[in-house]
A and B are shown apart, each in its own frame.
Chain A
Amino acid sequence: MGESSLVGRAHGLANPAVQRAHLEALVLPRRFEGALADSTLMPLKALEVNTLQVNVGKLCNQTCRHCHVDAGPARTEVMSLEVMRACLDVLERYDIPTLDVTGGAPEIYPHLRELIDGAFNVGAHVMHRCNLTTLLTGPCQDLPAFLAERRVEIVASLPYYLPKQTDAQRGVGVFEKSIEALRLLNGIGYGREGSGLHLHLVTNPVGAFLPAGQSSLAQDWKRELHRRYGVEFNDLYTITNMPIARFLEYLEDSGNLQPYMERLVQAFNPQAAAGVMCRYLVSVSWDGRIYDCDFNQMLDLRIADHPGMTIFDFDLERLALRRIATGQHCFGCTAGAGSSCGGAVA
């Protein structure tokens, strides 16, 4: 299990260029660009930018085994006040309806409340990707109420409805704390029918296999979480693990990389490809660079035609029509029912 980050262990895969090289070196039945071309989607282009996804940094209280961010408690990359305010400036200047806050663990980002308040004040809808366990720590005690007052949509990670699988991926004791945090959120109305406070759960497979169908799985989850723990939530998002950072390390160490990638390629779904999230969002890194998505950000795969663009010279018109930089990792977004930050896409 991820005792520490790849960076902390000075692992070769800590370097995004090495990750890209490992993925490119695989011999797979087809290339992602070829699959796109067969579906008349090549070159892959953005359709609009309806979401500004802001990754506030790699600092996290956990070191989950599958983390594509390679986050952890010893990571120091955190978004500065200056970059954060530039994100708010973009939300103010342009009509981008949604701010999607991710990390690391955004809850322990020192400027989180200013970011959310700023977005709320310009009328943006805010989505907050929450790891749950942070909510039990002292400085976050009043965070749920703060989020509720601003109608922030919470998207919380819980890989499975049982402790064994969840702890195997996220660390010993994480399941129990996550349930406690979910109860706390339910207690103030989050996830409760009719409250208007949305609490969605994200599940990703605990291992080298594809996620289950979202709707059939949601029924099992609702029943089991309610029956076993009295926990309620709105929607369940299923997300495919991406062959990036620590999940890539796990795939390599467990001998699963080749078969997993073959499985993703074999499950390529053109409908999912047409709906990939990079066509609707842009992703901002802790240091202000703009990327097509959080995955490209972690692989340091820059925007094809504007590789140097940052939040300080953000140009919505160009971004809304941009060509998207792709690679073999993209098969993770198009396998089966597809996968995005909002779950399945097809």
Chain B
Amino acid sequence: MNDTYYRPQDLPRFGEIGEGAPELWQKFSEWYGAVFREGALSEREKALIALAVSHTVQCPYCIDAYTQACLEKGSNEEQMTEAVHVAAAIRGGSALVHGVQMRNVAHRLQR
């Protein structure tokens, strides 16, 4: 189990990436914090968006962190599942809509 690229104990070590470029890390951290603060969207809504995006980028760290964050912001499993479906629908839809390119190429080649 230890010989995997993804290890849960690495998530809390995220900050170590700052050691290589402290200023950039600080800028990222400040910006990241500001992004998730209550604004025109609530913190709960932002966490749901983050959860959905986590699934499209398929990052196990983000999925872990934002599943917890969504629950802590008051979302329930039904809402979180719908958010994942939104992500999945966009992924599926974006694959499918590229079918138009396939059709364009096919029609050009078979003209």
Chain A residues near B (Cβ < 8 Å): 160, 162, 164-165, 205, 207, 209-213, 216-217, 220
B71 beta carbon closer than 8 Å to chain A: yes
Nearest CB on B from A236, distance (A): 10
Nearest CB on A from B50, distance (A): 15
B16 beta carbon closer than 8 Å to chain A: no
Residues of B contacting A160 with CB < 8 Å?
Answer: 76
27 contacts between A and B (CB under 8 A): A162-B76, A164-B76, A165-B76, A205-B71, A207-B71, A209-B68, A209-B71, A209-B72, A210-B72, A211-B72, A212-B44, A212-B72, A212-B73, A212-B74, A213-B43, A213-B73, A216-B38, A216-B42, A216-B43, A216-B44, A216-B73, A216-B74, A217-B44, A217-B73, A217-B74, A220-B44, A220-B74
Closest to A213 in B: B43
Residues of B contacting A210 with CB < 8 Å?
Answer: 72
B38, B68, B72 pick with most chain A CB within 10 angstroms? B72
Residues of B contacting A162 with CB < 8 Å?
Answer: 76
**A17-B76 Cα distance, complex, nearest whole Å:** 35
Residues of A contacting B42 with CB < 8 Å?
Answer: 216
**A220-B63 Cα distance, complex, nearest whole Å:** 24
**A212-B47 Cα distance, complex, nearest whole Å:** 12
Q: B residues 12-64 with Cβ under 8 Å of A?
A: 38, 42-44
**A164-B77 Cα distance, complex, nearest whole Å:** 10
**A162-B79 Cα distance, complex, nearest whole Å:** 12
Nearest CB on B from A169, distance (A): 13
**A205-B72 Cα distance, complex, nearest whole Å:** 8
Nearest CB on A from B39, distance (A): 12
Closest to A205 in B: B71
Q: What is the number of contacts between chain A and chain B, taking CB atoms within 8 Å? A: 29
Q: B residues 55-109 with Cβ under 8 Å of A?
A: 68, 71-74, 76
Nearest CB on A from B49, distance (A): 15
**A210-B73 Cα distance, complex, nearest whole Å:** 9
Nearest CB on B from A147, distance (A): 29
Nearest CB on A from B73, distance (A): 5
Residues of B contacting A209 with CB < 8 Å?
Answer: 68, 71-72
**A160-B38 Cα distance, complex, nearest whole Å:** 22
Closest to A160 in B: B76
**A86-B42 Cα distance, complex, nearest whole Å:** 48
B43, B74, B76 pick with most chain A CB within 10 angstroms? B74
Residues of B contacting A205 with CB < 8 Å?
Answer: 71-72
**A39-B42 Cα distance, complex, nearest whole Å:** 30
**A160-B74 Cα distance, complex, nearest whole Å:** 9
Nearest CB on A from B110, distance (A): 54
Nearest CB on B from A195, distance (A): 27
For the complex of A and B, list the 9 residue pairs with the smallest distance between their C-beta atoms, beginning with the closest.
A212-B74, A217-B74, A209-B71, A210-B72, A212-B73, A209-B72, A216-B42, A209-B68, A212-B72
Closest to B47 in A: A212
**A217-B38 Cα distance, complex, nearest whole Å:** 12
Known: A210-B72, A216-B38, A220-B44. 7 other contacts (CB 8 A): A205-B71, A211-B72, A212-B44, A213-B73, A217-B44, A217-B74, A220-B74
**A216-B36 Cα distance, complex, nearest whole Å:** 14
**A205-B73 Cα distance, complex, nearest whole Å:** 10
**A142-B76 Cα distance, complex, nearest whole Å:** 36
**A262-B71 Cα distance, complex, nearest whole Å:** 17
Nearest CB on B from A257, distance (A): 16
Residues of A contacting B38 with CB < 8 Å?
Answer: 216
**A212-B76 Cα distance, complex, nearest whole Å:** 12
Closest to A211 in B: B72
Nearest CB on A from B47, distance (A): 10
**A220-B68 Cα distance, complex, nearest whole Å:** 19
Residues of B contacting A164 with CB < 8 Å?
Answer: 76
**A211-B72 Cα distance, complex, nearest whole Å:** 5
Residues of A contacting B44 with CB < 8 Å?
Answer: 212, 216-217, 220
**A213-B72 Cα distance, complex, nearest whole Å:** 8
